[in-house]
Amino acid sequence: MRQGIIQSSKMFLVANRLEGKKVESSIRYLSDMEAVFMDKVAFSALDPQQPVYEVDCYFPVADNKSGGLFFGLTRIFPGKVGGEFFMTKGHFHSNNDTAEFYWGIKGKGLLLFMDKTRKVWAEEMTEGSVHYIPGNTAHRVINTGVEMLSFGACWPSDAGHDYGSIEKEGFSARVVEKDGKLIIIEE
Ligand SMILES: O=P(O)(O)OC[C@H]1O[C@H](O)[C@H](O)[C@@H](O)[C@@H]1O
Ligand SMILES: [Fe+2]
């Protein structure tokens, strides 16, 4: 297990038990997320090697196998591009109507949902919060706090990730801080 993910004591309890299991770790840097953020000028002033979030996934069965489950731990660094908070890329599932659970472990954020008609809504993510993401719904997590936001996830092993439409069209709402206040800008 990478050192970063076990720094938070609460994550450690889970991360420790993932030792020896089939875990894949990845980090998304600002350079991987240029299309995501609104303020291109602010983006270009930042270090492209700045990590935005890191994910450890436990895959007990083969990808795409039906009937299994996958498990993920994600940590989003605190930070902003212009006024816009660091967040995950967000995705639909390739197998469209598959659902997912997210739950807050540490820190403070927003889980943004968007259905196929581009209608958006949000739930606050805090320590211990539990979130059901229905099928056909894109999901993105935004760290609105000043510390690391850690959350867990569990999804069907045949769900798959579909990043395409979000990469192209984004979500229809953005979460930004303006004059010290959190605001949601809708399209
Ligand atoms: O895939 P992203 O939108 O970048 O989100 C980051 C990750 O968050 C959770 O752990 C999800 O369940 C993973 O499937 C996802 O990969
Ligand atoms: Fe998902």
State the complex-level ipTM: 0.95
Collapsed DSSP state (helix, strand, coil) of residue 25: strand
Ligand that comes closest to the CA of residue 166:
1
Flag whether pLDDT at 117 surpasses 90.
Answer: yes
Ligand that comes closest to the CA of residue 95:
2
Tell which one of 54, 161, 165, 166 to mutate to probe ligand 1, the residue whose CB is within 8 A of the most ligand atoms. Answer: 161
Which residues lie at CB < 5 A from ion ligand 2?
Answer: 100
User: Dmax over Cα atoms in the chain, in whole Å?
Assistant: 48
Position 8 confidence tier, pLDDT thresholds 50, 70, 90: low
9-15 average pLDDT score: 58
- Quick check: pTM over 0.90? yes
Domain boundaries, the chain: 4-186
How many CB atoms are closer than 10 A to CB 26? Answer: 12
Q: So what CATH class is 4-186?
A: mainly beta
Q: Residue with structure tokens 């196998």?
A: 65
For 136-183, the pLDDT digits (tens) are 999 999 999 999 999 999 999 999 999 999 999 999 999 999 999 999
Instruction: Give the lowest-confidence range in 9-13, 66-70, 73-77, 133-137.
Output: 9-13
Residue 141 is inside which H or E element, if any? Answer: strand 137-143
